[in-house]
Amino acid sequence: MALSSNFTSISDQLTANWGPIGAKCPELPNNIVPYVESMEVKGHLAAYQATRALALMRLSWGWYLNNSLGTESTCIEGYLQDGSFGYRSEAGYGGDYSYTSHAHGWSTGPTHALSNYVLGLQLTSPGGGAWILAPQFGDLRSVEGGYTTPLGKFSAKWALDGTKGYNLEYDIPRDTTGILVLPTSSTGPPSVTIDGERYNGGLYDWSTKLVTIDSQPGGVHAIVVVY
């Protein structure tokens, strides 16, 4: 699962737009647009820059959710880099900020990003007949989450075990098949145990330090990775 060096380079360059309360949108000067930032968050995660993605979530969504003048629960359509609740000051709304939505579904990108990339549980076929579990830790210590499809409940959780590895568990409907993409900080293949038994297969990528294990069954399973 090698990554092009362009991925990291693009992620690095995007941070040039960051200010104290979010990433300024080049196409809309002085505006911060959480919908656009949502795409950036997922871009950082696609480049395996989870710590950077989490930092942007805290910078922008954290600022609004902790703002006493906001709703403290929903997501704003956009705001200005000076912290005022205006949006599209030079076009679109003609300076009439009463049109700015404070419950904007398109601004909720972190909810998808946290589930699909940080927790790492992604469905790759309708209903989840096929799936990928590829957690990204960033600066977090543990994550748990899931959702339900017509096939049933999909859930997973992971927790770091000091600096030597982590525990990963999932509960996914039977008669489904998935791929595990296991991160490691070691300089070689880690020790992987699945349901108490040492697993000796999997493909280790030296450039990304990821172990890929194909054709994993649904059900309830526990994985221990030791670096």
Contact between 220 and 170 under an 8 Å Cβ cutoff? The reply is yes
Beta-strand (E) ranges in the chain?
Answer: 18-19, 22-23, 31-32, 79-80, 121-123, 130-133, 142-149, 152-161, 165-183, 191-194, 197-199, 203-205, 210-226
**Domain parsing of the chain, residue ranges:** 5-110, 120-226
Question: Which letter, b or e, does each residue of 100-120 get, where b requires 16 or more Cβ atoms within 10 Å of its Cβ?
Answer: bebebeebbbbeebbbbbbbb
Give the type of residue at 179. Answer: I
The CATH superfamily assigned to 120-226 is Maltose phosphorylase, domain 3 (2.60.420.10)
Residue 187: predicted pLDDT: 78
Tens of pLDDT, residues 13-67: 999 999 999 999 988 889 999 999 999 999 999 999 999 999 999 999 999 999 9
Coil, strand or helix: which one is 161? strand
CA 142 from centroid of its chain's CA atoms: 13
Percentage of the chain with pLDDT > 70? Answer: 96
Residue 93: predicted pLDDT: 74
- Pair of tokens at residue 162: 């000091």
Tens of pLDDT, residues 76-126: 999 999 999 988 866 667 778 888 899 999 999 999 999 999 999 999 999
> How are beta strands 130-133 and 165-183 bridged, if at all?
parallel
Show the DSSP H helices in the chain as ranges: 5-14, 34-46, 50-65, 109-113
The span from the first CA to the last CA of the chain, in angstroms, equals: 19
Contact between 182 and 227 under an 8 Å Cβ cutoff? The reply is no
Residue 1 pLDDT exceeds 80: no
Cα–Cα distance between 157 and 138 in angstroms, integer? 15
